[in-house]
Amino acid sequence: MTFLICLCVLILDRISKFIVQKTMYEGESIPVLPHIFSLSYIKNEGIAFGLFANHSGAWLALVGFLTVGIIFILLLRLKTINLWITLSFGLILGGAVGNLWDRIWLGGVVDFIDIGYKNYRWPAFNLADSMICVGVLMLLVTINKK
C-alpha cells in the first residue's frame, strides 16, 4: 500500500508540474488571491527553499537517491507497520521521487505554490514538497504517541 500511495503522489506531482511547465513561462507569476496566493513558476536548482543552489546537480541528485534508499531500507526493517506509518512513508517517498525526477531530467525542481502576505513570502514549493512535509509530520505524531 505504501508504494500505491507513493505512485499516486508521484502522478499528481508530475501532472501539476506538467501543467505549470506547459501553461506558464519560467519566472511568471499569476495571482490567485492577490497578495496571499499566487502560482509562480520557479526552477529551484537547490534543495528546500533554494538551499545549496550553488552545488552540483549531480551531488543533489545523489542526496535524493540516498534519501529514497534510506526510506526503502526503513520500510523493509519495520516490524510493525500501521496505516498511519504506511500513509506517511508513502507521502514522503512519493514526494522524494517526484522531486528527484525533476532534478534528474530538468536539472532543478519545478516549484509553483507561492504563499505569503504582500512582500512577506514563503519560498515557493510544489505538491511533492507538501507531501513530504505532511508525511514527516504524520510520522512524528506516530513516533511521539509510542
Is residue 13 part of the annotated active site? The answer reads no
- Considering the candidates 13, 102, 114, 129, report the single residue annotated as catalytic: 129
Burial 7-21 (b: 16+ CB within 10 A, else e): eebbeebbebbeebb
Q: Which amino acid is at 93?
A: L
Sign of the torsion angle spanned by Cα atoms 73, 75, 78, 79: negative
Catalytic entry in 13, 102, 111, 114: 111
* Residue 2 one-letter amino acid: T
Residue 111 annotated among the catalytic residues of the structure: yes
C-alpha cell at 11: 502522478
- Residues annotated catalytic, as ranges: 111, 129
